[in-house]
Amino acid sequence: MGCNGEKGPRTDLRAVRTHRAIQNAYRTLVIRDGLDKVTITALANEADIDRKTFYLHYASLDEVAEERKSAMIERIVNTLVEGKGPDGIDVNLRAVATELADILQEDPEFFRCVLGKISVDSLVEALYDPVRNAIIENSPRAAAADRLGADYLIRFMLSGTIAVALQWFLADPDTPIDEIADHIQAITDRIHLT
């Protein structure tokens, strides 16, 4: 019960454990067998559940992958919103690149398997609406800005930031991401978009 005597939402611990087992099995199979070879049967076997149980939690393998992607997008959007100033969001490419690098470093084996199968464009498309909505919701100036110009600027920033973070992760992870982000920020600070 809550502080006021009302019952709060009940969490079914079995469902939470099964959900976690499915996600862990998905990760294991992607690393071991490759993204294209994951099947619901293999996932159910790895998670030690039956196919019916899988379908109680997810409609498809795409939904399992989408959940992982959504969690990543939410973290990046939260990084933007946390960096908002008095006039709304001040898009800090350094913070976004650093957060993306943190996400990739949390599970490098998994992301090395997955990133070879997806394009920067698909990541930009996945991030575009949530980032744009966060900027508009938290920045009165952005809401009043030229829509076409803002749309292109958001895509430009996302494409560049994602491309740099992926290049760093796949080819140069020994260089501190802060050093790379500082270089990017210095270059973008010199660009005048007027």
pLDDT grade, residue 165 (50/70/90)?
A: confident
User: pLDDT value at position 135?
Assistant: 75
User: pLDDT value at position 194?
Assistant: 40
pLDDT grade, residue 185 (50/70/90)?
A: confident
* Cα of 12 vs its chain's centroid, Å: 26
User: pLDDT value at position 116?
Assistant: 76
Per residue in 64-113, pLDDT (tens digit) is: 998 988 888 888 877 766 655 555 555 566 777 788 888 889 999 999 88
Instruction: Name the token pair of 168.
Output: 């760093």
Average pLDDT, rounded, for the chain: 81
Cα separation, 98 vs 104, whole angstroms: 10
Question: Could you tell me if 100 and 161 are in contact, meaning their C-beta atoms sit under 8 angstroms apart?
Answer: yes
pTM, entire model: 0.73
User: pLDDT value at position 127?
Assistant: 86
Per residue in 104-162, pLDDT (tens digit) is: 899 999 998 888 778 888 888 888 888 888 777 776 666 566 667 778 888 888 888 88
Instruction: Name the token pair of 85.
Output: 């100033």
Concatenated DSSP letters for 153-188?
HHHHHHHHHHHHHHHHHHH-TTS-HHHHHHHHHHHH
Instruction: Tell me the torsion sign for CA atoms 108, 113, 116, 120.
Output: negative
Checking 159-168 for CB contacts under 8 A at 24+ apart, the result is: 159/120, 159/121, 159/124, 160/93, 160/184, 161/93, 161/96, 161/97, 161/100, 162/100, 162/120, 162/123, 162/124, 162/127, 163/120, 164/97, 165/97, 165/100, 165/101, 165/104, 166/115, 166/120, 168/101
Give the best-scoring range by mean pLDDT among 32-46, 68-82, 180-194.
Answer: 32-46
Per-residue buried b or exposed e for 117-143, using 16+ beta carbons within 10 Å of the residue's own CB = eeebeebbebbbeebbebbbebbeebe
Give the residue with greater pLDDT, 7 vs 42: 42
Instruction: Name the token pair of 100.
Output: 């993306």
pLDDT grade, residue 37 (50/70/90)?
A: very high
Instruction: Give the chain's length.
Output: 194
Cα separation, 42 vs 39, whole angstroms: 5
User: pLDDT value at position 58?
Assistant: 95
Tell me: pLDDT of 17 over 70. yes
